[in-house]
Structure 1
Amino acid sequence: MDVHSKDEQTWSTKLKRIGERSKRDKGTVFNNIGCVIDLDMLKATYHSLEENKASGLDKMTKEKYGTKLEENLKNLLLKIRRGTYKPQPTRLVEIPKEDGSTRPLAISCLEDKIVQKAVNTILSTIYEPIFLPCSYGFRPAQNCHDALKRLMAITHKHPNGAVVEIDIRKYFNSIPLKELNEILRKKITDNRFLHLLNKLITAPTMIDEKLVPNDRGCPQGSIVSPTLANIYLHHVIDEWFESIKITHITGGAELIRYADDMVFVFENLLQAEKFFRVLPKRLQKFGLDMHADKSSLISSGSLAAMRASRKGKRLGTYNFLGFTCYWGLARNQKWWRLKLKSRRDRFTAKLKGLKKYLWENLITSNTNYILKRVARVVQGWINYHGISDNDRRVKGFIYAAKHILFKWFRRRGDRKKMNWQRLNALLKQAGFPERWKTKSMFPNPNDAKA
């Protein structure tokens, strides 16, 4: 499709106007937004979907759907406008977690992904201008490293403070749909659009050849779920916290949230303790449950760390976005600051996953493909974990990955042929990373003053 076509400009112009209205007046209520979805928007959405993604129950691929794209999308649009569109059941995949449990992932059919993404585009356009700066997850121009930098900056501001780490038990699967719809209706009164959205959320899942209806939660794997999860916590946590900071909290306080992973930083320990008692009640009011074993209150700050050190103790640690946050001495050994290192459980789990993959591919003639794939996995891990103070973990990961590969080759029967010199040559040829550029997480002067 020509991106400069007249029709494409029509839907994109409508979308732009919606965004401008939302930004100009945060109290705007939208009552006619479903009209944005037209044939050209569906085409653009189809083309924006990633290739080679897992297919749903109907086994339809993007390539196959595209052979009759115009016909398929016209039929889809007709069903949407008549109100007869009905998502197909999702396919459930269990993704292993570090603690041994699994995370259910709902795999939708391709046509349903098109509708999900179109609906999500409209939702994001409305809500993005009103989301608060404390929210970093699934937002344009924001990422995990930005959230970590902000955490470093704000903890630096409070030398004798506290941190509250919160975990919401099975958040995505626990969002009550009635309460979610009540929140959505504060901004959107287009009943046809909301009905379409609810069809997407409540699509049943095929489990053991039985259809299981979804009457609670936003299924992980759905394109629209991250935005809905942000919308719910924007109301339940973000706006509420901004309000009580003014009315109920003495001293500085700030929230850093990435989806349902969040920490609250306080200038005053007593205020943090008070907040820690109140927060579970706030969550329960909106159908959510704080995971007590994974939530904690920890003293924080350079002065607090120094006092603990003089007593032969150390401040407690907490986890955020895959890292363990702890207080350690700066290089000059004169003052204490927050440091980050990759969580040990996730470090170990990633290596176990790598070993499992290699052992499942023990008998293969295409070793070059395997090596290149492993190199990409290791590079991806380094891209995220290669940050300030984490060099030791990164070096350890590279070293462990190479040893797993070495054992894999020897297990394949290459015991006589394989040695470290030959392995290093093969890894170099496959683009296996040995060096990396550390990403600085140190707060810049503006962050420290913020």
Structure 2
Amino acid sequence: MANTSNKVREFQRKLYLRSKQEPDQAFYSLYDKICRFDILWDAFYLCKANKGAAGVDGVRFEDLNSIETSGKLIKTLRAELVEGRYRPLPVKRVQIPKDNGKTRNLGIPSIRDRIVQMACTLVLSPVFEPHFHCNSYGYRPKRSAQDAVICINGYLKQGYQQVYDADLSKFFDTIPHSRLLDKVRSKVTDRAVLRLIKLFLKAPISEPTAKGKSRIVGNPIGTPQGGVISPLLANIYLNDFCRKIATKTPCKIISYADDFVILSKTPFNSAQQDWIKNELEQEGLKLNEDKTHIVDMTQVGNEFDFLGFTFKYIVGFIQHTNYVKIYPSKKSQKKYKDKLRSIVKHRTSLTLDQLVERVNRVVRGWKNYFGKVGYPRQVFFKMDWFLVARFYRWSRSRSQRRSLYLAQDAWNKLHKAGLVYLQPTKMKTAKVSR
């Protein structure tokens, strides 16, 4: 994974310290920093490391492998920025299916626009970072989803067991541009930077039509989910709301981008719920009433999901040792199984080694995400046996043998191929259900 250069890191450190030491001061000269060659080159390598699909112009990072082609692009972008000629290309919109049968919009900027957005993010992040709420964990340096989960668990142990599990309706698609720019303006008064952000927000959308073609439409509201700068803008936008919860109520709020939970030591009454709803509406945001609910985590069996984890209050093995068990949610397990099914399927031309290579990438990613916190062992073991069963069925489809038992040499083959498991275990010959 690419990292910023030492020169850029030192520049960011100075910006961060100045912003932290002078919290009431706004920055008025940042645009020239965005135009710096070293900033743009770092932005290019960071975007390249993140990969991603091509935008409306069809240009891929594979087309920019040589130093000549990438250097030419950086010089062109810098010239356009310095001369005020830069204009973003339309954002390619794709529909991503959701579990409920609906879809969510994902915006894919062109590579050239991703680079400029990343350069802008590199400069603006250290300006806003010192002022974000301490329990905001989304897309921030040295913070992760696992940190948010650990934070929630800590508050639950302290007695904050009344949970307001919120779900915002189409957050990225409904952020008002004018209000967002006002929040950016609180720390950045450089007109050129504000103009650049406005260009990102107002970039037209290229969306598919029913006839399979595409059309260009305007973007009067929202910031495309998928844009490089969108996570930073989302944190900026929600920060005021998070601080209101933290300063005007005895509650604790933990957020990750547009996902958040509010924890309280006392039950939420209707007046408190209405206040939260009204505060969000003042920000131009709406709650998804069907998915927003209150959970009493003092009652055994109650649970809620956050960032793919389930928090469930259960009875411990020893009397008077009830605790909150944290493990991968059913929704996360289903997605994991579906991903494995899409790789290890009956009709595939891939060899065993090729299948194992692809499966291992999925297994390692899931283990790295869910294996650091909570109690995932039982789920891991179940998922491992699901994977074994997939390979068993795949092997049966390629052989005339219909035995219900996995022979010892089958395990040896999987071991030699380097199959990775979530839960380290010694598996022996076992019967696998049909």
- What TM-score range do you get, normalising by the shorter chain? 0.7 to 0.9
Given residue 199 of structure 2, which amino acid in structure 1 is its aligned partner? K
Partner of 2:184: 184
CA contact (8 A) 2:364 2:422 kept: no
Structure 1 residues 367 and 198: alpha-carbon distance in aligned structure 2, compared to 1, 3 A threshold = farther
Contact 1:15/1:36 (CA < 8 Å) preserved in 2? no
- Per-residue Cα deviation, 1:330-362 (whole angstroms, up to 9, x for no partner): 332322221123221231232123213444x82
Tell me, yes or no, if structure 1 residue 345 matches structure 2 residue 294: no
2:370 matches 1:385: yes
Give the aligned partner of residue 424 of structure 1. 411
SS in 2 for 1:414: coil
Whether 1:28 aligns to 2:25 is: yes
1:378/1:398 contact within 8 Å kept: no
Describe the SS at the equivalent of 1:265: strand
Q: Secondary structure at the match of 2:48?
A: coil
Matched with 2:89 is 88
Q: 34, 37, 40: which is aligned to 1:39?
A: 37
Contact 1:124–1:227 (CA under 8 A) maintained in structure 2: yes
For 1:371-450, list aligned pairs within 5 A.
Answer: 371-386=356-371, 387-411=373-397, 413-416=398-401, 419-434=406-421, 436=423
Quote the residue 2:79 is aligned against: 78
Contact 1:98 1:346 in 2 (8 A): no
* CA deviation after TM superposition for structure 1 residue 30, in Å: 0.9
Q: What is the CA distance between 1:315 and its match in structure 2?
A: 5.1
* CA deviation after TM superposition for structure 1 residue 85, in Å: 0.7
> Among residues 290, 308, 316, which one is paired with 1:293 in the alignment?
290
Q: Work out the percentage of aligned pairs sharing the same amino acid.
A: 26
**Which amino acid in 1 is paired with 2:195?**
H
CA distance in 2, matches of 1:396, 1:121: 42
In 2, Cα distance between the equivalents of 1:93 and 1:422? 45
Select which of 231, 235, 248 maps to 1:230.
235
Q: 1:136-184: per-residue Cα shift (whole Å, max 9, x none)?
A: 111111111111111111111117x411111101111121111111111
Q: CA deviation at 1:415?
A: 4.2
What TM-score do you get using the length of structure 2 for normalisation? 0.87
| Paired AA for residue 380 in structure 1 | G
Distance change (3 Å), C-alpha of 1:91 and 1:415: farther
TM-score, length-normalised on structure 1?
Answer: 0.84
Residue equivalent to 1:56: 55
The residue type paired with residue 322 of structure 1 is G
Does the 8 A contact of 2:88 with 2:199 survive in 1?
A: yes
Over the aligned positions, Cα root-mean-square deviation in angstroms equals 2.5
Q: 1:71 to 1:373 in 2, by over 3 A?
A: same
Counterpart residue type for residue 257 of structure 1: S
Contact 2:311 2:324 in 1 (8 A): yes
Report the alpha carbon displacement of residue 405 of structure 1 after superposing the two structures with TM.
2.6
- Contact 1:21 1:28 (C-alpha < 8 Å) held by counterparts: no
Matched, 1:370 2:355: yes
1:102 to partner: Cα distance: 2.7
Show CA shifts across 1:75-99 (max 9, x none).
2111112221111122223333333
Gaps of 5+ in 2: 209-213, 425-434
Instruction: Indicate the residue corresponding to 2:172 in structure 1.
Output: 172
The 10-residue stretch of structure 1 (332-341 or 116-125) with the greater mean CA deviation from structure 2: 332-341
Q: How many residues align?
A: 411
1:111 alignment counterpart: 112
Distance 1:429 1:417, change over 3 A: farther
Q: Provide the secondary structure at the position in 2 that maps to 1:98.
A: coil
Note if 1:266 corresponds to 2:287. no
Contact 2:30 2:190 in 1 (8 A): yes
Q: Does 1:218 align with 2:223?
A: yes
**Structure 2 CA distance for aligned equivalents of residues 12 and 141 of structure 1:** 14
Amino acid paired to 1:90: V
Given that 1:91 and 1:108 are in contact with CA atoms closer than 8 Å, whether structure 2 keeps it comes out as yes
Match of 2:281 in 1: 284
- What is the Cα deviation at residue 374 of structure 1? 0.9
Matched, 1:141 2:142: yes
Partner of 2:246 in structure 1? 242
Q: Deviation of residue 14 (structure 1)? A: 4.6
**CA distance 1:399–1:19, shift in 2 (3 Å):** same
- Larger RCO (CA under 8 A, 6+ residues apart): 1
Q: Is the 8 A contact 2:301 2:314 kept in 1?
A: no
Change beyond 3 A, Cα 1:82–1:233: same
Distance 1:424 1:194 in 2: 60
- Distance in 1 (alpha carbons) for counterparts of 2:407 and 2:357: 18
Q: Is the 8 A contact 1:254 1:265 kept in 2?
A: yes
Tell me, yes or no, if the aligned pair for 1:205 and 1:213 is still in contact at 8 Å.
Answer: yes
Change (3 A) 1:352 1:196: same
Any conservation in 1 of the 2:308–2:331 contact (CA below 8 Å)? no
Counterpart residue identity of residue 318, structure 1? F
Letter of the 1:191 partner, please give it.
R
Runs (5+) with no aligned partner, structure 1 = 306-313, 438-450
**Contact in 2 for aligned 1:385/1:394 (Cα 8 Å):** no
